Amino acid sequence: MPLDPQAQQLLEQMASAGAPPLHTLSPVEARQATATMFRVAPEKQEPVARVENRTIPGPAGAIPVRIYTPAGNGPFPVLVYIHGGGWVICDLDTHDAACRSLTKQAGCVTVSVDYRLAPEHKFPAAVEDSYAAALWVAEHARELNGDPGRVAVGGDSAGGNLAAAVALMARDNGKPNLCFQLLIYPAVDGALATESMRAFKEYFLTPELVSYFWKHYVRTDADRKNPLASPTLAGNFKGLPPALIITAEFDPLRDEGEAYGEKLRAAGVPVVITRYNGMIHGFFTMADVLDQGKKAVAESAAALKKAFMR
């Protein structure tokens, strides 16, 4: 299919702004350049009953989290959400709108995790923080008016990578017991050798930018091939939680996300793979300007609600 007209317009607006490509910037400069990219005006945000910023214990110190609570009495199911940004950029604020939407539409407590960023903190720092957060949430769910028996993990892009890694660790370590994994255009293969990686060179996320992120995230080729960095290299996919994998047609990460879904399916894991035709990477967190982003958020919330009812 052709590029979605709304996505085309957005790309043209970005091009007209004349900003330098992110892969030519330092990590600090890239963070500054993208600090407001995904933020949504307060009047457009989904209202939730309560938002709380706090810290929780982590393997290398306190981990900042933002806890969103929906209206109602609870106990609510809980989503541990891990933001994208190539392990290098983005934070709790850039993904605030997405977390609000998921909280309201899925009727769950959402705990958004501000893991340590690269290159200051290389692999496996982000994985360790994300897994520690999932453990903490499961152990303290009742304090959050949550149900420890209904905990899911999710994330977009690099956050999808980390969510998949957390699901692998949870299975292998026997805790926490996760009921679902929401993987939104996840980066799951450090080889960067798919057809979509070769084909899509000019649609917001470029192969150069993907390489830039991986360069800052891992130290060695051995790190890149570690299943906790490249979940597609895990030798065993049996026993992982059910999954929804969302991809975008014009996204370099499209093929690896869909291939990961097929590996889960072949191992007997219930999985739905939805490709949004005409869309670009990042569309999930651009739902305020992309109608298909709104649809993807709604599909994610519906899948979470279904998983929480099992």
Scanning the chain, the segments in alpha helix (DSSP H) are 5-17, 27-34, 96-106, 125-140, 158-173, 195-199, 207-217, 221-224, 254-266, 291-309
Quote the tokens at residue 16.
């007209």
107 CB burial (10 A radius; 0-12, 13-18, 19+): middle
Place of tokens 């800052």: 216
The single-letter code of the amino acid at 291 is: D
Residues annotated as part of the active site = 157, 251, 281
Quote the tokens at residue 104.
């309201």
Quote the tokens at residue 275.
């490709």
User: What is d(CA 100, CA 115) in angstroms, rounded to the nearest whole number?
Assistant: 19
Q: What are φ and ψ of residue 91, in 5° steps?
A: -165, -165
Quote the tokens at residue 73.
């009495």
